[in-house]
Structure 1
């Protein structure tokens, strides 16, 4: 059929950030995976597209196209749901464990496929085979140019219902990045010192962020390959995927015990996992695969590694919960990177797993006592003014490439979800197209915390890394709640061991 397009006066332009996320050097895609308790039909999925996805935002029925003036705009085109629905075929009669492997391989496969330029940048994949967590799996794939994770949460909010009370809306936890603590500061002297400290932190963070998105990059390590000149190879690499589900209540208990936040606990966990993996991978490389790796502190690499943390900038625009964002229709790409140095401990040093959370809390508290968040867009806009759109695209690309790894988090509803009366057993998301060998995503949903890691095939030892993830969680909870020496550690919780 013929394309139906809006006139140029009503076709919205593609924002510079969205252009940067779907450019010749960077192509970020978001994958949301829903494992349903009962099979859903293709007709039901198409109805969801027509009723909820297509009417939600013009970007779901538009392509990127330059007008006669060279301005890139969202051009409205005729869109059929069936053209965006893909149903893969697997062999019949296999065990659930085998279908689980097929699902993982299928996810890796579709992550390496770029979107067609003549269709809107989204797809739905219906895997009509059982997995370990459901009777079928619905995969939503969308270009990050359409919107960020919190934009897509709006889509899920409109499409899904509460499993227990379908007539009631889903509810979400509050959002806050404000530094916790006593808000009362005694004396003008302390206020002045606090203001000066914030100015120092802001200056340091602005300089660090500017260098990080221009020329400062991490050295090669067990989780970071030497940079390749072929960006196409960097962006579209097959990977292994592994996920761990934790009780959100258990994570909150650790958070409360250490006076931290959930984000502090997650960041500390990632640091500890990477510490275990780099230590053991270094030892295996030194003495062969038959070498024992029971000593987790042997051969810890003294390599500075940086974690790129994706922030939801709406928090700094006055929003305190997702319901406010939904009512305000706060669509778009408002996620930005914040850089955090991962702690690396010296060789053969006895490391308490909680040290990593304490160190993460200290770093995050210092970041919160900074105004760098309000300067991030100014730095990007300055690059666009000086070097044009290509300059901004390069900076956004380097914000990922120059860091060792990254994490992106979203907050899902508190209640169990249902889609067309099909209960959702498991929900997680991840990203593809990032020039890193290992990435993390986390989602708190239905009173669970789901942590997902994607690992580049042929470089990251996925079996070793997944075992380190499992061990890290066990160690953290054991030390926090069962270790008899925990009281002595807790009394000195403000002291941090020497890190490099």
Structure 2
């Protein structure tokens, strides 16, 4: 970046030396796949905490020439979010991929519904004012309280952003996720949001040793600190699937075109008989209101006004506060339905996550070949990664069992959720 005579910060054109961006680490030889898998996770955590060098473009490619549990080798693309959001960066990655079965055919993606339903998009002036104040409040000063997944707020931004973390991922059947979605009249994102909310609920109970409901009449909040605010990132583009890079640039849709929604996830007391499906139903209700609200389309104007008033540094602080004040975040992208190959190397699986964020727990999901890959980043020394991982594993099993094995075809509604 460079500053013009008028004080405006702009990108500086440079000559890119590809050799400066390609990194091939060396691990000990002769280890098992399980050991190399652990080395890979530690390496990901390490490079994710390292800041980019400011004397070259903000991207790196790391080639891991060792087998892991998922493949013969691993390619890691580390790119600054200043260059683009997940939609742009994944589109750029897919530009170099072809269908493994027939490179002459294009990759296909699940269809997305972009239509709003119902009259929830209508909003009074007073209602819009309340929502704007709520958004600005959460973005600036209204922080979630400490809980099982949130530490005391730190005033040191560097300490908050560059902490070591563990990475865990699990692969779910997208077909089963769609079955739950259809059963509840929800979307895949609703199911994912409810799944993560229920995971947090399980972890809070297990961390405090309250797997079984209390017998002394207490009604301690299972989340130890009130409702969870989840920051959900949503794309503002009108494309279905992924557009190619040329079309995105032509439509001025490259770069960062995602916006955040703050969603209060449901919480329950220990004495209540919790149905896992309640988390999805409540997530659907909340997501419908957020997606159909006209406030979602006023966020751009709001942020541009903030940039005009506070400048670039002020905007950076606003973005940081938006992440810091929420307990957790979720970001999702869709991948192709067919198996891909990168220069004739078949891709068994791929996923993404964001580093340099203040949350102790964050969730990321991507669909690929009718599978849903769910990735969790967990702060070391605060989140019990083994316990949290077991909760992730158990959560969807509980949800699917509640939907189809214990179902009495009743109408699922939330009567005890507090938001």
TM-score (norm: length of structure 1): 0.78
Is the deviation greater in 300-309 or in 82-91? 300-309
Runs of 5+ unmatched residues, structure 2: none
Task: Report Cα offsets for 1:447-473 as digits up to 9, x if no partner.
Answer: 111110000000001011000111101
**Residue of 396, 421, 439 corresponding to 2:362:** 439
Counterpart residue number, 2:411:
492
CA distance in 1, matches of 2:213, 2:355: 30
Do 1:198 and 1:371's aligned partners in 2 also have CA atoms closer than 8 Å?
Answer: no
1:126 aligns with 2:73: no
Counterpart residue number, 1:419:
342
Do 2:205 and 2:211's aligned partners in 1 also have CA atoms closer than 8 Å?
Answer: no
**Residue of 98, 102, 106 corresponding to 1:161:** 98
1:71 aligns with 2:8: yes
CA distance in 2, matches of 1:296, 1:247: 31
Counterpart residue number, 1:110:
47
**Residue of 399, 403, 411 corresponding to 1:480:** 403
Do 1:438 and 1:453's aligned partners in 2 also have CA atoms closer than 8 Å?
Answer: yes
Counterpart residue number, 1:209:
135
Do 2:84 and 2:256's aligned partners in 1 also have CA atoms closer than 8 Å?
Answer: yes
Quote how far apart the aligned CAs of 1:369 are. Answer: 2.8
Task: Report Cα offsets for 1:213-256 as digits up to 9, x if no partner.
Answer: 11111011111111112111111011000001111111001000
Runs of 5+ unmatched residues, structure 1: 1-63, 184-190, 284-292
Counterpart residue number, 1:385:
308
Quote how far apart the aligned CAs of 1:388 are. Answer: 1.9
Quote how far apart the aligned CAs of 1:294 are. Answer: 4.2
1:454-473 aligned at under 5 Å gives the runs 454-473=377-396
Counterpart residue number, 2:248:
328
CA distance in 2, matches of 1:249, 1:295: 32
User: Rg bigger for which structure?
Assistant: 1
CA distance in 2, matches of 1:469, 1:114: 30
Counterpart residue number, 1:319:
239
For the aligned residue pairs, the C-alpha RMSD in angstroms reads 1.9
CA distance in 2, matches of 1:326, 1:363: 35
CA distance in 2, matches of 1:461, 1:478: 26
Do 1:177 and 1:368's aligned partners in 2 also have CA atoms closer than 8 Å?
Answer: no
Do 1:85 and 1:125's aligned partners in 2 also have CA atoms closer than 8 Å?
Answer: yes
CA distance in 2, matches of 1:495, 1:112: 40
Quote how far apart the aligned CAs of 1:420 are. Answer: 0.9
Structure 1 residue matching 2:140: 3-state secondary structure:
coil
CA distance in 2, matches of 1:296, 1:163: 51
Do 1:124 and 1:139's aligned partners in 2 also have CA atoms closer than 8 Å?
Answer: yes
1:261 aligns with 2:187: yes
CA distance in 1, matches of 2:334, 2:316: 28
Task: Report Cα offsets for 1:33-77 as digits up to 9, x if no partner.
Answer: xxxxxxxxxxxxxxxxxxxxxxxxxxxxxxx22233322222121
Task: Report Cα offsets for 1:335-359 as digits up to 9, x if no partner.
Answer: 1110000111012211010000001
**Residue of 60, 74, 77 corresponding to 1:140:** 77
CA distance in 2, matches of 1:123, 1:296: 49
Aligned positions, number? 410
**Residue of 290, 295, 300 corresponding to 2:212:** 295
Structure 2 residue matching 1:76: 3-state secondary structure:
coil
Do 1:346 and 1:499's aligned partners in 2 also have CA atoms closer than 8 Å?
Answer: no
| Residues 345 and 211 of structure 1: CA distance in aligned 2, closer, same or farther (over 3 Å) | same
Structure 2 residue matching 1:322: 3-state secondary structure:
coil
Counterpart residue number, 1:24:
none
Task: Report Cα offsets for 1:154-185 as digits up to 9, x if no partner.
Answer: 212210000111111212223335344xx6xx
Counterpart residue number, 1:310:
233
Do 1:302 and 1:346's aligned partners in 2 also have CA atoms closer than 8 Å?
Answer: no
